[in-house]
Structure 1
Amino acid sequence: MVIGVAMMAAMVPTVYAVGEASNRKDKGKEQNRDDQEERYHLITKCHLPSVPQHQKAQVHNARVYLDLDGRIYISQHQLPRIVPFAGYFYSHPDLEQGNLAGLVTVSPETPPQLRWTFLDSNTHEMRWGGVNDREGHISGPFGLHDDGSLTLNGSRRWMAVRHHEDGDHEAESDPTAASGLWRLYFDSGENHSVDLPAGAESIEIELEMVRYPRRPTHSTS
């Protein structure tokens, strides 16, 4: 059974309101669900001593962002077109058999939508999109390691990859940018066999899930 993203958004709480409640009771329920929902940033970590210091400075403690091109980027600063990852785990009957934990995020679209996070099975690049975008690709299962880092299929073979053309993209977005723009990849082959474009740089990283600060609760008299 295929259920669209719009219907999914109506079924679960998101960072943005999915609709105006029809009455005060519904509004109270929606607010309560929204307050209880755990949402996460993704922060990249690089602890490998073999990585050159100038590269490590670009990806260690950097944030994961989404762009309108459907790609997922890593950067130490926010460019005008990208927005921080803002999502959480989500189970859905439309997921692949045996996959009980998908990963959804709020998109940079106008208005923002709740979208899937998935691994492109051809390029090994992480992307975001709707139901049709993720068909034929890998959308989980995602999970948490004991140390709080993100896993895919139980592994943490995340990679930061820098393409030459991303330097031009970054310069156009922010000519004053001093650090690199990287893309998020995952080595699903377990043997570091990701086929990258000629000249692309890659770094093994980990992804830490960091909770958004909870909104303060307001008492009513």
Structure 2
Amino acid sequence: MVLGLISLAAMVPLTATSVLSLQSQAETRRSQGVDNAWKTNKSHLRARASNRTPKDRKPLFDGSKVVLHDGLLYVELQSSAVKRHPFTGYFLAYPDSDYDGLVSTISKEPPQLNWIFLDTSSLQIRHGLRTEAETGITGPFGAVMVAPSEERRILLEGWEGFIAVESNQPGLWGLYFDRYDDALKGRVPEGRRTVELELVHEDIEGDSQQS
């Protein structure tokens, strides 16, 4: 790995060269017998209300997806009139760490990548350059495979603690992580509805991080 590229990644967007450098960490893990090949496939994230969601809220999230908007990650309902850039990314070894981070493009053109991270103050999931990401929690991100469907659901710090919080924009709910397992106590504006989520990893057929 070229260490100079890692330090540069803190100041500029991820480029194809820096991605290949970081990817060498994942290749090392695979050579040690860990099958992580699926992690480098470019994917979308589908949001689904958990089984514990009240019946009046659960149908709202049918067909919903995770999108990026103004530095934040949101759940965009199928009913939303405005369509924003969907999460389009993959797992990537986080620089100078022993865990996987998560990256996504932030637009179709140019295909710039941002790191996904948790804002430790608001507990909202955000995206940004490495300098921004390192102000929060950058991982470990992972996934759990659920039988019998073999779908993969996203984990942060080893568990599913994702919560959608209704925003003031129609069809758009903020994506949060209930890090302290207290239902985001003191962080949700009064009167805003919340929904416990499962984030389902969906490969983009015929695509990968090299494309």
Question: Which TM-score band applies after superposition, normalised by the shorter structure?
Answer: 0.7 to 0.9
1:92 & 1:47 partners in 2: Cα distance?
29
Structure 2: which amino acid aligns with 1:160?
Answer: A
1:44 is matched with: 47
The secondary structure found in structure 1 opposite 2:94 is: coil
In structure 2, what is the equivalent of residue 84 of structure 1?
86
Q: How many residues align?
A: 175
CA deviations over 1:126-161 (Å, ceiling 9, x no partner): 111111221220111000113210000001011011
1:166 corresponds to? 169
Q: What residue number does 1:188 align with?
A: 179
Identify the match of residue 60 of structure 2 among 58, 61, 67.
58
Structure 2 residue ranges without an equivalent (≥5): 1-5, 21-38, 147-151
- What is the CA distance between 1:109 and its match in structure 2? 7.3
> What SS does the corresponding residue of 1:144 show, helix, strand or coil?
strand
The more displaced of 128-137 and 107-116 is 107-116
Which residue is 2:75 aligned to? 74
Residues 66, 87 of structure 2: 8 Å contact kept: yes
In structure 1, list runs of 5 or more residues that go unmatched.
14-35, 168-179, 216-221
Query: Against the structure 1 CA distance between its residues 109 and 121, is the aligned structure 2 distance closer, same or farther, given a 3 Å change threshold?
Result: farther
Q: Is the 8 A contact 2:118 2:125 kept in 1?
A: yes
Q: Which amino acid in structure 2 is aligned with residue 157 of structure 1?
A: G
Secondary structure of 2:169's partner?
Answer: helix
Counterparts in 2 of 1:99-138, with a 5 A limit?
A: 100-108=99-107, 110-138=109-137
Partner of 1:10: 17
- Distance in 2 between the 1:121 and 1:9 partners? 29
- Off by >4 Å, runs of 4+ in structure 1: 78-81
Mapped to 2, the partners of 1:120 and 1:92 lie a distance apart of 17
CA radius of gyration, larger in: 1
Which structure carries more strand by proportion?
2
- SS at structure 2 position matched to 1:51: coil
Q: TM-score, normalised by structure 1?
A: 0.70
Does the C-alpha gap of structure 1 residues 39 and 144 become closer, same or farther in structure 2, counting only changes over 3 Å?
same
Whole-Å Cα distance in 1 between the matches of residues 83 and 63 of structure 2? Answer: 20
1: CA distance, partners of 2:46 / 2:145? 16
Partner Cα distance (1:86, 1:50) in 2: 26
Identity of aligned residues (%): 30
Is the CA contact 2:40–2:91 (under 8 Å) kept in the aligned structure 1?
Answer: no
Shift of 1:6: 3.2
Shift of 1:71: 1.3
Look up the match of 1:23: none
RMSD over aligned Cα atoms: 2.4
Relative to 1, partners in 2 of residues 1:188 and 1:47: Cα closer, same or farther, differing over 3 Å?
A: closer
Are 1:9 and 1:114, in contact at CA under 8 Å, matched by a contact in 2? no
